[in-house]
Amino acid sequence: MAGSCAGGDSADSAQTALSEPEQLAGFRVLENSCVSCHSPDAGATGGIAPTLAQIKVAYATRGTSAAAFSEALVAFLNSPSPENSRMPEALEQYGLMPKMSLSQEEVSAVAAYLYHTPLETSRWYARSYAAEQERMRASQPVLPHLERGQQLAMETKAVLGSNLLKALKQGGPEHAVDFCSTRALVLTDSMSEVLGAGIRRVSDRNRNPANAVNAEELSYIQLCRMVLEKGEKPLPRLQEQGQTVTGYYPITTDALCLQCHGNPDTEISPATWTALQTRYPGDRAYGFALGDLRGIWVVEMAR
């Protein structure tokens, strides 16, 4: 079997056990959901999470099969916990990562890519990473509006998430409140400009007045909550008007969200609650439980 775990260190011999579509699928997940926190550079220091190389080494000791590597990494990604982690030092240094909103197909694809790619070697980042980015861009199909909007929302979420985690690491939830109040809208607007689409986060239980919903958005939110109450997963929706196509995508709470959006008596610390009340006197974005609908992404695209 080729690859750095079973076939040597050369970056040039990487990935031969994966087909080209499998390589592209794995790298796409890596680029869109992982590298904003986990540096692809094996020599990087001072990050907010372990590098991809450190993760690879921890889960792929010599002799580990692709199946065993995938099983262990997928178990952690599906349910991040100290029991499922093989990186106790990273947990102590960085804390436990939140659960990512990845499908089983995406989780399996990125695990396969990590196993068969020699990103733990010193040469891979310098010689191969930029080429992988170019290959991904060249292979990117023209997506239907519904899928394209989802991709743009997830790219924006990754940028916001990495900056939020950095703020949490620097000063805890109270510092994250400052980040959200001063930087979240700025970053979202910047991503809108970079990605060429109007991207917003809105809610009927908003914290920032700028994130309030309109009637159409409220209708979709109410529908999503009805679907969740039935134990089902809400689906995104498209709205076409004139030369604009707008995509709506649900945002549900994870464990990380509850530090600022959970129950004030049990999940939000007194210091964080004070900071929230100071920054947002009309705050309604608390009292959520795990998996609740917190709001939606709204992505406006040209027809």
pLDDT score recorded for residue 101:
74
Q: Which domains does the chain have, with CATH numbers?
A: 11-139 (1.10.760), 152-302 (no CATH)
Q: What is the pLDDT of residues 234-287, one digit of tens each?
A: 999 999 989 999 999 999 998 889 999 999 999 999 999 999 999 999 999 999
Does position 153 have pLDDT exceeding 80, yes or no? yes
Q: What is the pLDDT of residues 97-149, one digit of tens each?
A: 877 778 899 999 999 999 999 999 989 999 999 999 998 888 877 779 999 89
Determine the distance from the C-alpha atom of residue 40 to the mean position of all C-alpha atoms in its chain, rounded to a whole number.
Answer: 15
Q: Cα separation of 124 and 160, whole Å?
A: 27
Most confident residue range from 1-10, 161-170, 252-261: 252-261
The answer to whether the CB of 167 falls within 8 A of the CB of 179 is yes
Instruction: Identify the residue with better confidence: 52 or 136.
Output: 52
Across all residues in the chain, what is the average pLDDT? 88
Mean pLDDT of 58-82: 92
User: What is the side-by-side order of every strand in the sheet holding 293-302?
Assistant: 198-202, 293-302, 244-252, 237-241
Q: What is the pLDDT of residues 208-237, one digit of tens each?
A: 999 999 999 999 999 999 999 999 999 999
Does position 15 have pLDDT exceeding 70, yes or no? no
- By CB neighbour count within 10 A (0-12 exposed, 13-18 middle, 19+ buried), where does 164 fall? buried
Longest CA pairwise span in the chain (Å) = 60
